[in-house]
Structure 1
Amino acid sequence: MSHQTLLRYNLTSRDHRNIPKRQTSESMLPSIVGLRSVSLRQKKINLQLSVINLRFLVFCFLFTILLTSLHSLEISGKIVNDQNLPLENVIITTESKTAISNRSGFFDLDQVRENEKIKIHKIGFEELEFFADKIPQKIILKKKAIEISGMEVVEERFKQVLTETSNKIVIKVEKKSENNAADILKETPGIYIQGVDLPGERKTVSLLGHKSKHTLILLDGIPLNPSGQDFDLSTIPAEIIDNIEIIKNNAQFGSGSMAGIININTKKSDGRFSLKTGQKIGSFGLSKTYANLSISNRYFYSYLYAAHNSTNNDFLFNNQSGLENNLKNNDKSVQDLDFSIGLNSFPMEIEYGFDIQKFFRKYLSPENITIYDNSKLEGSTNRHKIHLKKEFSKINLISNLFYFKDRSSYDNTESSWFQILNHHFRNSRGIDTKVSFKKEIITFDLGTSYKYEDFASENETNPNANIEKKYRENYAGSGNVKFTKDFFPFTSDLILSSRIEKHNNFGNFMTYRFDTDTKFDTFITLIIGGSFGTGFTVPSFYDLYWNDGQAHGNEDLKSESSNGGQVFGKLEWLKNSLKISLHSNTVKNLIHWTRQTDYWRPENIETVNISNFEMDSNFNFFKHFNLGISYLKTIAKNKTKGGDFYNKFLPFIPQYNFQAILKYEIKNFSIKIMHTKTGKQYTTPDQLSEELVMPEYELTNIDFVYDFPYKNLIFGISGAVNNFFDEDYELYKYMPQPGRNWQVCFEVKYGI
């Protein structure tokens, strides 16, 4: 065995630590050369092994990713509440990811394993949990009360009465400086408010160019209009309103809903405990003091509101001839008391409420017209309501009972022309009951209703004009079926409604309506839909029986009937929207008051057509800024063939309405600028004289709201300047509107 071989053997078979530490350099040299050769060869082998190991690890890593991608999911969906309204800021979590639903209720998650659990969470709602491969594309969260340190937390009470459709408008009343329901509605596209734009003045609403009496006003689902008449929206204070629902065109709610229905839902509570008081002052002697108290817990909720409002409303104006007139003797005062209480601890929900209002109004009397000098109307309204609701597993039972009592007296005994002292009495009572069944894709409603109404008039100055007590009653049955089909990202709705109504004076009426729409619902939403229906309106007591020196009723009047529909398309993206609608309605036997030789008398117009083009848009291009633009073009013509006024425009209907609202809002402050332009109106059925045409006019209103919270208190100040540029205009001949006017409100709220 050679020396090198022996050395290699010793190095590999014996512990190198046994080699003597002290060796001569000559004796170590062969060993070092041998070690270097072994070391280089070993490094080469180790390097080759490292490359192989690295390639293997990369292969395993890529193979793992491939397997993971084959078994991972991309999940997207929409979260709504049990009323099918989208829920924002819902938290969606997995073991490693979190997402939050946007304003439209949408969310998405990627690279989620099939067997991974996903939790859906939002305070005030039941928490849900799904496996990733089993999660539905549309998730419905149900309300659930929870307790935190003795406090009950639940989703905000947001009551709605009308059937949910894509074409329904819902106005949520929050920070508002308005005085009454009419002031809130005037910002809504397609709505025209008629009446002097001052607190205390009578205001009615026209939908899509129809007469005011063709829009049925509801309060918590109960009709307010006297049969065949319009309703004064200025009598509903803004402070008691929670939200307003609007459905246009032949809504199925009985007489008076040919143009649509507006349902005003009142506040039921304003927190666990809150006390609010406010003082409003303004032009023309305006003074309004109000207060409300709200209590809510798991057993009951209650809301109390009281207010006193007074103003003189005297102002100067320039008529169309450029002459300055004085609107005088126009004092107004109103006192309101509203109360509601609901019980939650009973086997069913029970709610009782009453509204009491006393009013005093002097009527408009321009300086050169003395016929109404010091004329006044005073009286009271008393409304009582009971609401019952019982929820079963999939069936809801709702019943409303009501009793209304109205008294008023008109006094014109100081007039130098003729004297009238007249007393009016109206009572109404009724009940409506609805059973609702909901299961998966179908919702089915069946309802019955009964209403009794009587009217009488006593004329002290002319007993021959007395109207003895007249009454009418009607019975109705209704049905409503809604089909909803989701095939994500599409949702289709079909609603079929019908109503049969029997009036003791006018016979039987059967009406129907169908709505349909399809929604493409992702991060951009496109909705296309339409509706068609029929409606009717019976003549009012005044239309039939009124009899004094200026007006005579007509007992031969026929009931009005209508048929028509609408088509619409709506695009929504982020917080922006654009909607285009076309409406058309044909009215038969339209009741219209016309001037005879020396008095006014109502007559039936055989055929009338009302068509509209409507555009409504809303843009949020910049943070804190919102711009809303709407336009309504109305063509309302007499289509009675062979008549004297065939193809003539109907009087007192603006040919167009344009509205632009710019709003800036940040934290507790908001300011709003509203500019409107109203088209010309004809005042006579023949349109022979341009001098009798009411010209178009433009108005600009500005209002602001600022809240300052401090501990449990919120101090608020709001104000408005109406007719900012002091425009001179009239709605009717000798019916002037006020110039620039202002109001400011100071408010304090304590709440826990």
Structure 2
Amino acid sequence: MITNFALSRQSVSRILCCLALVTLIALPLWATRDLPDGARNMIYGQVRDESGKALEGAVVTDGRQTVFSAADGSFTLLDGGEWITVSRVGYKEQRFRHPKLRVWQRDVILQASPIVLPTVRVTETSLDPFSQAADLLRIPVDEERSYLSTVDLLSSSTALHSSDTPLKGESQRISILGNLARHTLIMLDGVPLNPHGEAYDLSLLDPESIESVEVIKNNASAYGGGSAIGGIVRIRSKQGSQTSEDEGSVGVELGSFGYAKSSFGFLSSHGDWHLRLNLSEFTARNDFTYDLRNWWAADSTAKRDNNAKRQSSISAAASWQTRGTLLALQTSYEDFHRELPGTVNFLEIYRYAWLDGYSSQNRASLEAKAGPVSLQGIAWLNLNSSVYDNTRAPIPFFLNRYRQKMDSRGLRATASMERELKPFWRLSGSLAAETGRNRYQNLNLLLQSQDLKHRSRFSNLSLRAGSNLDAGTFSLSQAAALRYDHAGKEDRLSWRLEADLKRFGMVESTLGGTLGTSFSLPSPYDLYWKGDSQTLGNPALKSELSKGWQLWLQNRYGPFSLKAAWHQNDIKNLIQWRQIQMNGNVWKPFNIGRASIRNLELESSLQVAKWLELSASALRTKALDLSTLPASRAPKLMYTPELSYAINLDLNWKNLGFWSKYSFTGKQWVTPDNLATPLNSYDLLDMGVTWSFDWQNFRLSPHFSVRNVMNKQYEVYAYVPQPGIAFYGGLSLKLGR
């Protein structure tokens, strides 16, 4: 029995040895058979945590290639290098040497580790390297929303106010912080559109061509030149496609008062070239019913007719970008026809009056890097022309027909540099120079002896220096800007100082302020205009000068933000049109003396959820004419609301978007002496909804909006009624490659 047992044990040993030998021989053959073609070795295994739970998304890399663990924690790495690293957010990294086996299994256990994220500072910076103002406000542009006009886009903040008719094709201007509309400098892609002292008509800019909007409040001539007493609205037009895909879009809109619009857009990119094209055309009868004043005709209504508008727009851009160099070409052209009914108390004097014209903006810019210095050059040509006709009025009292032209061309070069002295301290500096010329013509088509032509040259030099100190829980930014302007026969020096101090933490607090000066030239219309026998220019006008400051405090706690700001502006030589007796009543502009504008501004926002945001803003304004009386008895400036506020709601959930805005505008005085009854205050409610449906390469987006939901009857100027409730709807179709 013992012998048999021994033999059995020897047999077992032999069998085990044979199995081991077979395994050693067969294993390389098996490994070679299972390796993918061309692979020399393979590492596979599973990544788990300390409890044995599989970890998905772990990074497995040898420095040359990277794979991620699957849902069950498994991974496979072919041709691994000498060292293998396995990592995942929230776990300690593991590193081990590859033994260079053809097939190697290695399970990895990762140890949990708390996540410590580095501090990241997110700040708003300007698209213009020269004017990165401390009080820079960026107005969001919703790509899915259909804006009725550029003013509709801008008026999301109560700091920006328009006293013009909110109908398509109507002349529309914007004012900042209770200042006059002509004290708002409008800049398009860095080019000033109204540096000559006139208010710019924003209805000539197609909102579909706008990419972004930035606002600098209070005196800002150091950043833009003349007309920036109230501030600057800087608009950037859409560039060409920044991706390799082409995109086309078509849209149609219909609305109340005979409104109809069609549009077409195209974006393309080919190599280093990026292209954009936008076309649009609209017509609107704008004939609406309004209530007559009670003292005029009680309980009766009338119809606003002879008010049709038409406008065609084309906008195009082409850019070439490579190795830090950017060449951009942009052009836009607007052709318009407007019937002008006049005020309702003089309908028969201006009946059948109309205005035809065009506006064109053309720019070429070049940007490049030369070591630490950024260089930019830009050339522009802006052309504006219009013909006014009032020769068919039933009461031929102010018959006139004239053509006006305003051209501006110029060149500007900018050099800017930013240097980091220490990891927490950066310095920046910019230098800019500009030169060009303007031309104004007023051609009387009924009496050529009254033709006038005016030409002027301009040049300026600007300098800005700034620093930013980041001390962990605090940061301090400071800047100073200086600008010298030579315009016509005038020389003006403008400056601006600004600073803001931020404290980071659970509650982020910002304390900032600016102090500066500005100027505004008398426009050619003020100097020479002879619109009809009721108006007369004043060549003796002097430039308006201002000095002002602002101080703000902002606190941000999670999704909630609250900001309070105080603004003050003192203006000398304020230009105001007054009615005088000169062979009858004549309107003529004068430098009335000194004016003071003070504001208290409140802004708040609450991000209720990722898809829902509430915001509110309010502006209290005290604008006084101090030319003859002290502040205690001084009259208020005309057409400046004493109080305005707005509440906005924005909802973006999946493919659905909804917005609403409730706004209140306080009473406004209509005469310089404040003796006439002021315009009543009014409140408006607007709302709209958009949908988006994606199918293959198509996106279909219907939209619908209601303006003046409460059907309020109100006036923005004396004897200029405004429309009641209005409905607008449309459909856009986008096609991407």
**Residue number in structure 1 paired with 2:313:** 336
Give 1:545 shift.
1.2
Equivalences for 1:729-740 in 2 at 5 Å? 729-740=714-725
For residues 308 and 519 of structure 2, the distance between their equivalents in structure 1, rounded to whole angstroms, comes to 37
| Counterpart in the other structure of 2:566 | 582
Q: 2:174 aligns with which of 189, 200, 205?
A: 205
Match of 1:500 among 484, 487, 491: 484
Contact 1:638 1:645 in 2 (8 A): no
> Aligned with 1:724: secondary structure?
coil
Q: Secondary structure at the match of 1:544?
A: helix
1:95, distance to aligned residue in structure 2 (A): 6.9
Task: Say whether 1:573 aligns with 2:560.
Answer: no
The aligned runs of 1:227-242 (5 Å cut-off) are 227-242=196-211
CA distance in 2, matches of 1:169, 1:161: 15
The corresponding residue for 1:65 is none
2:89 to 84, 90, 98: 98
Q: Are the equivalent residues in 2 in contact too, given 1:273–1:295 (CA < 8 A)?
A: yes
Separation of aligned partners in 2, 1:646 and 1:531: 29
Q: Distance in 2 between the 1:248 and 1:279 partners?
A: 36
The reply on whether 1:636 has 2:612 as its aligned counterpart is: no
- Counterpart among 692, 698, 702 of residue 707 in structure 1: 692
Instruction: Tell me if 1:214 matches 2:183.
Output: yes
1:258 equivalent in structure 2: 229
Q: 2:471 & 2:430 partners in 1: Cα distance?
A: 24
Following superposition, the deviation at residue 622 of structure 1 comes to 4.5
* TM superposition shift of 1:606: 1.4
Q: CA deviation at 1:704?
A: 1.2
Q: What is the TM-score with the length of structure 1 in the denominator?
A: 0.78
What SS class does the counterpart of residue 257 from structure 2 fall into?
A: helix
Match of 1:85 in 2: none
CA contact (8 A) 1:590 1:604 kept: yes
Q: Structure 1 pair 623/434, CA: closer, same or farther in 2 (3 Å)?
A: closer
Task: Report how far residue 646 of structure 1 moved.
Answer: 5.8
Check whether the contact 2:195–2:227 (CA below 8 A) recurs between aligned residues: no
- Cα distance between partner residues in 1 of 2:215 and 2:498: 15
Equivalent residue letter for 2:488: N
Partner of 2:138: 170
Other-structure match for 2:239: 268
Q: Deviations over 1:342-392 (max 9, x none)?
A: 011477311111111110000134666211101000011122100110013
Question: Residue 633 and residue 710 in structure 1: after superposition, are their counterparts in 2 closer, same or farther (change >3 A)?
Answer: same
Provide the TM-score with structure 2 as the length reference: 0.79
Q: Cα offset for 1:185?
A: 0.5
Aligned counterpart, 1:378: 356
What are the superposed Cα offsets for residues 687-726 of structure 1, whole Å, 9 maximum, x if unpaired? 224xx21010010001111111111111001121000010
1:564 alignment partner in structure 2: 548
Return the offset for 1:461. Answer: 2.1
Moved more, 729-738 or 342-351: 342-351
Paired-residue identity, %: 27
Aligned to 1:418: 398
- Deviation string 1:288-320 (CA, Å, 9 cap, x unpaired) is 100110012541111000111111100100133
Q: What is the CA–CA distance in structure 2 between the aligned matches of 1:221 and 1:528, rounded to whole Å?
A: 28
Aligned equivalents of 1:591, 1:161: Cα separation in 2: 33
Question: Could you say which residue in structure 2 is the equivalent of 1:246?
Answer: 215
Task: State the Cα RMSD in Å.
Answer: 2.5
Deviation at residue 136 of structure 1 after TM alignment:
7.4
> Structure 1 residues 311, 135: CA separation in 2 closer, same or farther (over 3 Å shift)?
closer
Cα deviation 1:411-470 (Å, max 9, x = unaligned)? 111112331111112211001111001111111000001131010111122334322x10
What residue number does 2:650 align with?
663
Q: What code does the residue aligned with 2:160 have? A: I
Number of equivalent positions: 612
Distance 2:344 2:646 in 1: 33
Unpaired segments ≥5 residues, structure 2: 1-84, 95-113, 421-425
- Contact preservation (8 Å) 1:162, 1:245: no
- Looking at structure 2, the residues matched to 297 and 576 of structure 1 have their Cα atoms a distance apart, in angstroms, of 43
Secondary structure of the structure 1 residue equivalent to 2:182: helix
Equivalent residue, structure 1, for 2:292: 319
2:151 counterpart SS class: helix
Q: 1:558 to 1:299 in 2, by over 3 A?
A: same
Which whole-Å deviations, capped at 9, do the CAs of 1:113-154 have from their partners, x for residues lacking one?
A: 9xxxxxxxxxxxxxxxxxx9x99755899xxxxxxxxxxxxx
**Counterpart in 2 of 1:8?**
none
Within 2, Cα distance between the matches of 1:719 and 1:160?
35
Report the residue type matching 2:640 in the other structure. I
Amino acid at match of 1:618: S
Q: Which ranges of structure 1 fall in alignment gaps of 5 or more residues?
A: 1-93, 100-109, 114-131, 142-156
Distance 1:623 1:396, change over 3 A: closer
Amino acid at match of 1:424: Q
Aligned residue runs from structure 1 range 21-60, under 5 A: none
Distance in structure 1 (CA, Å) of the matches to 2:456 and 2:549: 30
Q: 1:112 to 1:439 in 2, by over 3 A?
A: farther
Partner-residue secondary structure (3-state), 1:204: coil
2:534 is the alignment partner of 1:550: yes
Q: Among 665, 672, 680, which residue is 1:685 paired with?
A: 672
Deviates more, 1:294-303 or 1:423-432: 294-303
Matches within 5 A, 1:366-515: 369-415=347-393, 416=395, 417-440=397-420, 441-467=426-452, 469-505=453-489, 507-515=490-498
Match of 1:649 among 612, 624, 636: 636
How many angstroms apart in 2 are the aligned matches of 1:136 and 1:338?
44
Q: Does residue 1:592 correspond to 2:576, yes or no? A: yes
- Displacement of 1:491 in angstroms is 1.1
Q: CA–CA distance in 2 between the matches of 1:396 and 1:160?
A: 11
Q: Which residue identity lines up with residue 326 of structure 1 in the other structure?
A: K
Residue 159 of structure 1, CA deviation: 4.8
Q: Is the 8 A contact 2:567 2:600 kept in 1?
A: yes
